[in-house]
A = this chain, B = another copy of it.
Amino acid sequence: MFERSRRGFLVVFSAPSGAGKSTIVREVLRRRPVPGMGLSVSATTRPKRPGEVEGRDYYFLSEEEFRERMGRGEFVEWAKVHGHLYGTPKKAVEEALEEGKVLLLEIDVQGARQVRRTFPDSVLVFVAPPSLEVLEERLRARGRDPEEEVRRRLEAAPRELSEAGSYNYIVVNGDLEEAVRAVEAILIAEYHRARRFKGVSMR
């Protein structure tokens, strides 16, 4: 009776570095709370980290290649974060939405704003640490970044956190399991939004 719209929607995740965003997104993707979930793969000029796979984690581009594609308007959004360029390929997102995908996208706060401008139907989720102290602990504990990078990320956090109010949802990641369940609930709820249905058709 109620027919679902064929078009999917974007779920954008932003967080200060170290809040646990990627861990949450990875786990939610594994659990698949709604049908047709996928991960939007960004392009970046930042060096590949151990364990990362081209085309799965990122499209790793040289700065020259990245800027060429930028010039051709191939990115929904792009931003310089901690000295590296990141961009969301427009064509891939459009195709996924047309296929009805629920597409998860991890980007920074500047990018989220641009995505919402292009895809107003997007759902914006802000992942926050329970406190700045916990954020610092986590950044140091993962031991991935040099001290200078850790400091740069910590300095950026307050500005990023101040943007949370412009998101649709805020998930405070104190307990990982709780945060994952909250995001699962957000996806299921958004899947039941009245605007995702074509309207009433009586038969």
Using a CB–CB cutoff of 8 Å, the interface residues on chain A facing chain B are 1-2, 33, 126, 128-132, 158, 161-162, 164-172, 181-182, 184-190, 192-194, 197, 199-200, 202-203
Contact = CB atoms under 8 A, between A and B. Distances in A.
Contact of A197 (B170, B190, B192): B170
Given A170-B192, A170-B197, 10 more contacts: A1-B131, A33-B185, A132-B203, A165-B194, A165-B197, A165-B200, A166-B194, A170-B194, A185-B187, A189-B189
B202 A2 contact: no
13 contacts: A1-B129, A1-B130, A1-B172, A126-B194, A132-B203, A161-B200, A161-B202, A165-B197, A166-B194, A169-B192, A170-B192, A171-B192, A185-B192
B192 A190 contact: no
A182 B186 contact: no
Given A162-B200, A185-B185, A170 B2 contact: yes
